[in-house]
Structures are given as C-alpha cells and as structure tokens.
Amino acid sequence: MQVDGFMISDDKTKLQPDVIHHFLRNSYWAKDIPLEVVKRSIENSVCFGVYSGNKQVGFARVVSDLATFAYLADVFILEEYRGKGLSKRLMEYIMEYPQLQGLRRWMLATRDAHGLYVQYDFKPLAIPDRWMEKQVEDIYQKKI
C-alpha cells in the first residue's frame, strides 16, 4: 500500500531487524531487548513495516491466533517521520488486514498513545476485574 510516498507492507522479507531492534531497545516498553528476542518476535507475529524508499521508518506487529484474539504490539514511527499521519495509515492497514477480520477481542498496552488507538475503537477495559496480568519488570536487564 502506497501512502504519500511511503509504503506499508506485511512482507517480512522487507523488515530491517536492526532498525526495529534499535528503536525497541530504547523504548519504555522493551528497554534493552536483545536482538535475538526481536527476531523471534518477528518470526512469530504478523508484522507490518512502513518504508521511505528502502529505509524502514515504522513497524507494528500483531500476536494472534487469526481466529479470535489479537494483541497489537511494538508500534512505532521513527521520530523524524512523525507528524505525517503514518501511524494512522499504519493502523488503518492493520485494522483492515484480511487475516485479522472477525476477531472477538483486540488488546494493546500504551503509556502515551491513547489518542491514536481510540480512533480505532480501542477503549479502557470495560470490566477490568476480569483481567489479570503477569509482568516481569526489567526482564531484559536481568541475567536469565
């Protein structure tokens, strides 16, 4: 899909793991994530890249059974490409992606992008007392 000189694609062979890793290892949600973990997450997810020519400038991945559930993760646009509507185009592409239609539930976690996701019908948990989580803080800083 071409958008204002940018391309959005689900072709994993176009992904640039080094670009993705560099962004994620400096993010608040995946601080210091190892490259091997990023590569494994790409292998086991439905992935989307945003490109300016041959340069990857954005990314998102969806963890899903492709039948009932999807978890949207690792969404980003590189800082120098923000303000061009690319995150909205990326979200539209993901939400219209044929293999992700008819799902019962989508989830995501964000600290600062609620305004983006609400445009695609994401809302705070309706019944939060039904949900539980297991979160391992600073997992990538620990020696396992």
Q: What is the pTM of this model?
A: 0.92
SS (H, E, C) 88-121: HHHHHHHHCCHHHCCCCEEEECCCCCHHHHHCCC
Q: Which residues pair with 105 in a beta bridge?
A: 69
End-to-end alpha-carbon separation of the chain, Å?
A: 41
Residue 56 lies in a domain: yes
Residues of the chain with pLDDT under 50: none
130 found inside a domain: no
Q: Element (H or E) spanning 95, and its range?
A: helix 86-95
- For residue 49 the two structure tokens come to 């890249």
**Structure confidence at residue 143 (pLDDT):** 65
By residue range, what is the domain housing residue 64? Answer: 2-124+135-141
Give the pLDDT confidence score for residue 144 in this predicted structure: 56
Whether residue 102 is contained in a domain is answered as yes
